[in-house]
Amino acid sequence: MSGGTGCRRALYVDFDSIYVVNDAPAREACQEAGRPEPLTQFGRAMQTLGVAIIGAHSPQAKGRVERANGTLQDRLVKELKLAGITTLAAANAFLEKFLEDYNERFSQPPASGINVHRHVPRA
């Protein structure tokens, strides 16, 4: 969850339709026409930023992605309710503290302290 500043080089995701086009006929039509695979809007945005999308293929990798998503989808909603949050502005303010605590408890130190983020493109 946490990271350096700047633009990441890659995102590690599951194969949800937000990230990749899961429509086999659309992918096959592109392949037959010699075109690159079709992209979702998110995929086009990542391509514009030069961010690679890495799909989780193994059950272990999928579980890693799903655990983080499940925790955020389940725990964050409960924490918002417990805190009595009812507006978007209050939720955004709460989210900063929530993520700080989440990262403190669950993040792992990187194997290297070198920041490999790229500068965000101006365009």
Please provide the size of the chain in residues: 123
pLDDT of residue 70: 78
SS (H, E, C) the chain: CCCCCCECCEEEECCCCCCCCCCHHHHHHHHHCCCCCCCCHHHHHHHHHCCEEEECCCHHHHHHHHHHHHHHHHHHHHHHHHCCCCCHHHHHHHHHHHHHHHHHHHCCCCCCCCCCCECCCCC
Render pLDDT for 85-107 as a digit per residue (tens, 0 to 9). Answer: 999 999 999 988 898 888 888 88
Average confidence (pLDDT) over 11-28: 84
Render pLDDT for 65-89 as a digit per residue (tens, 0 to 9). Answer: 677 777 778 888 899 999 999 999 9
pLDDT of residue 89: 94
